[in-house]
Structure 1
Amino acid sequence: MRVSRGARDIFSFLMLAPDAGEEAARAAMTLAVRDDDSASAAEILAATGIDPR
């Protein structure tokens, strides 16, 4: 989900299924908050082995 409040305020939220494993969920959240990474949610989920359902 993306929320925008103008050109400079764009927030992206990564939502994980409740049954995502703890280790995979932590890895996905770590990737999601990196400043130097522009990976999409689909890429983050694929990289951590989480089913995107």
Structure 2
Amino acid sequence: MIRTFAPVIEKNGEGSILNILSVLSWINIDEGGGYSAVKSAQWGVTKALRLELVAKKR
């Protein structure tokens, strides 16, 4: 999805990409370790993409 919309946002000069994750991307609960790990990985990808897109803007 981001690969599709990032070029459009760049062409328009500005915009936002919103990635909604659960609080379990920051914490673990009993018997939810796998779910929390996946959400944490998604949060990491979100942070990495933010840095990549900001760097392209400069």
TM-score normalised by the chain length of structure 2: 0.32
Structure with higher strand content: 1
Structure with higher helix content: 2
Which structure's CA Rg is the greater one? 2
TM-score normalised by the chain length of structure 1: 0.33
